[in-house]
């Protein structure tokens, strides 16, 4: 989760909010009325506006006119996979994190992807290490493995390993 450093108000001109999204490289920005979260302005909302401005007079539009309503939020206590599940059920690239009714941050789909990837990577290394350790105990195949096993095993454990070798 990232601390929310930027937000806009419902009466902010759309193009001013869009300039902020672009300048800060944000995929979305919370819309606050005082301390109350009232919506989320997304890249998609802005793109929709830009794509239709040639057909309609959009001059003077405010954020409240095009912002998305908040249907999904996260809580700081959400674990990684439950947060990923929320992203799978919505179209937002960023979601607000709410605690005690107040906005405390936001999290992006990209950050969830990176965190899950890191988790899988870490787990994969752990699994590979565990598999190698089990293989070394079950079937030590080199003198180096036998020496490592002898140094890190009790007499009973070594007897068990040697009994199981064919």
- H or E element at residue 118: helix 109-138
* Nearest C-alpha neighbor of 160 from the set 147, 148, 151, 149: 149
Q: What's the confidence (pLDDT) of residue 31? A: 93
Q: What's the confidence (pLDDT) of residue 12? A: 94
- Which CATH homologous superfamily contains domain 14-114? CBS-domain (3.10.580.10)
139-162: buried (b, 16+ CB within 10 Å) or exposed (e) per residue? ebeeeeeeeebeeeeeeeeeeebe
Residue 2, SS3?
A: strand
Q: What is the pLDDT of residues 42-74, one digit of tens each?
A: 888 888 888 877 676 667 789 999 898 888 889
- CA 87 from chain centre, in angstroms, equals 9
- What average pLDDT score do residues 13-31 get? 90
How does strand 102-108 pair with strand 94-99?
antiparallel
* Nearest C-alpha neighbor of 64 from the set 6, 16, 7, 14: 14
Q: What are phi and psi of 24, to 5 degrees?
A: -95, 0
Residue 59, SS3?
A: coil
Q: What are phi and psi of 162, to 5 degrees?
A: -70, -35
Residue 113 has pLDDT above 70, yes or no: yes
User: What does the block give as tokens for 26?
Assistant: 């944000």
pTM over 0.75? The answer is no
End-to-end Cα, the chain, rounded Å: 54
Residues of the chain with CATH 3.10.580.10: 14-114
């Amino acid at each position: 989760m990232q601390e929310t450093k930027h937000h806009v108000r419902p009466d902010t001109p759309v193009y001013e909010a869009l300039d902020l999204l672009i300048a800060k490289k944000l995929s979305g920005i919370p819309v606050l009325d005082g301390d109350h979260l009232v919506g989320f302005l997304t890249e998609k909302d802005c793109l929709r506006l830009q794509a239709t401005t040639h057909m309609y007079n959009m001059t003077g539009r405010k954020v409240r006119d095009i912002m998305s309503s908040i249907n999904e939020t996260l809580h700081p206590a959400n674990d990684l996979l439950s947060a990923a599940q929320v992203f799978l059920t919505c179209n937002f690239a960023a979601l607000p994190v709410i605690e005690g009714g107040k906005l405390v941050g936001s999290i992006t789909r990209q950050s969830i992807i990176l965190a899950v990837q890191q988790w899988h990577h870490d787990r994969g290394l752990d699994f590979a290490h565990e598999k190698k350790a089990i293989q070394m105990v079950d079937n030590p195949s080199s003198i180096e493995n036998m020496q490592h096993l002898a140094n890190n095993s009790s007499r009973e454990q070594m007897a068990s390993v040697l009994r199981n070798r064919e």
